[in-house]
Amino acid sequence: MPWYRVIMCGQNYLVNFTGEPEILGFHVTHYVKSPDEEMAQRIATIRTRQDRHLHESLLNTPDNPSRLSCASVRKVWWRRGRDDGRYHFWEMGPAADEGASGSYG
């Protein structure tokens, strides 16, 4: 069964990592073993949604939902990379610079 590198993109995540709520976006990379790209995307989505630290910090209400989408899926020949499961956050706002807030994971 092949390996896939799946990059997930989260937007409008109201989280409290530092004691003060802020709206962040993120990318996270997952390496998954899967029969096809569609299943790889499903597995990566489940892994992201089940992340304990992210889920416990999430403050969104039903009228202001977060969004999670798949940014890319690519078949790879190697099993893992150093970025597996690592989150890269950025502030979401008019003056925010994507990728400026650092990493988690």
CA distances (Å), 24 to each of 3, 18, 44, 102, in order?
29, 12, 19, 11
pTM attached to this predicted model: 0.81
Q: Strand 67-76 vs strand 22-33: parallel, antiparallel, or unpaired?
A: unpaired
Model pLDDT for residues 25-34, shown as the tens digit of each residue: 999 999 999 9
Radius of gyration for the alpha carbons in the chain, expressed in angstroms and rounded: 14
Give me the mean pLDDT over the 8-34 stretch. 92
**Per-residue pLDDT averaged across 52-57, rounded?**
88
Ordered by start, the domain boundaries in the chain are: 3-104
What value does the mean pLDDT of the chain take?
A: 86
pLDDT tens digits for range 75-84: 998 766 677 7
Q: Residue 98: CB partners within 8 Å, gap ≥ 6?
A: 25, 90
Q: Is the pLDDT of residue 62 over 80?
A: yes
Q: How far apart are CA 19 and CA 37, in angstroms?
A: 38
